Amino acid sequence: MAATTFYAQASANRRKSALLLLSAVVLFLGFGFVVGYAWLGDPVAAVGTTMFAGVVALISGLTTYYAGDKMVLAASRAHLVTAETHPVLLNVVQEMAIAANVPMPAVYVIEDTALNAFATGRSPEHASIAVTSGLLSQLDREELQGVIGHEMGHVRNLDIRFALLVGVLVGGVALLADVLLRSMIWGGRGRRRSDDRGGGGGAQAVLMILALILAIIAPIAARLVQLSVSRQREYLADATSVEFTRNPAGLEQALWKIGTDREVLEVANRATQHLYIANPIKKFEERASSLWSTHPPLADRINRLRALHGGAPLATDDVRALSSME
């Protein structure tokens, strides 16, 4: 039953990825037309900006699909490891790859004392897993298995591809919204003179107002979609880790250590935080924002794991300790 559920989720992620990519292209084209109309006041002339937005959408999508994982790894300053430098880590990853029935991913380490990990790539055949050096030094083997099992769950369930495409959608919408707002600010005077000479422009004015509303709301809506998707992915990956390891206590203990760790992961940012097993941006940091939390509460995730082996829920003080960091 569990296997059927996980494979069904992978199939659903394939369909969602295709739909999301199509939606991103349509959204880019729509924004391109609105920007062109707002700038030029001519629907025919706006076809040029629409085509330009379509090219941008195509290039952005292809770049992310084929090179997004490399960009994320480079931004995270991760370096490839070997069996000579990290034999235990590679052995655990190999164990989880066999359990997941997927090819062995490339394995990277981020030299940082913070405890965290993430998976990225466009498919199980082109996947990478990165962990921090702090995670390796603080977790025992069972806890490390739980974390790697979680990340391998993202690989098998095709969450890694979906996460990349969601990132394109959110980033693209924000970029086009910014272009539209700037065009309306800097091009407003010229448009008003053109409207005065034409003696009208009512339709264009309505479209500009609509465009302004969309430019403000669309990035927020896209971001909320990303957050919702990210949270559900984490629950599923936790369950998948237990399927691989048959040991919910390992991941449970790892999440506790990660959640109570006060080290700051400097290489993490708002664009990559949803990839990590736990939110790398702590509540006490200036860059933190609870409104945009990309992960479900760690206390909830731990309690779900504790329920699998008959453990009692976390005590109130423990829940408070975790929530103070998220």
Q: Collapse the DSSP code of 121 into the 3-class scheme (helix H, G, I; strand E, B; otherwise coil) and give the result.
A: strand
The edge-to-edge listing of strands for the beta sheet with 127-132 is: 78-80, 106-110, 127-132, 117-121
Estimate the crossing angle of helix 202-245 against helix 2-40, to 10 degrees.
160
C-alpha triplet 56, 58, 61: angle, nearest 5°: 105
* The pair of three-digit structure tokens given for residue 247, joined into one six-digit string: 């040991």
Q: Collapse the DSSP code of 305 into the 3-class scheme (helix H, G, I; strand E, B; otherwise coil) and give the result.
A: helix
Hey, which residues are catalytic here?
151
Cα 104 to the center of its chain, rounded Å: 22
The rounded radius of gyration (Å) of the Cα atoms in the chain is: 23
How many CA atoms lie less than 13 Å away from 246 in the CB half-sphere?
2
Please answer whether residues 241 and 149 qualify as being in contact, where contact means their C-beta atoms are separated by less than 8 angstroms: yes
Burial category of 231 from C-beta neighbours within 10 Å (exposed 0-12, middle 13-18, buried 19 and up): middle
Residue type, 110: I
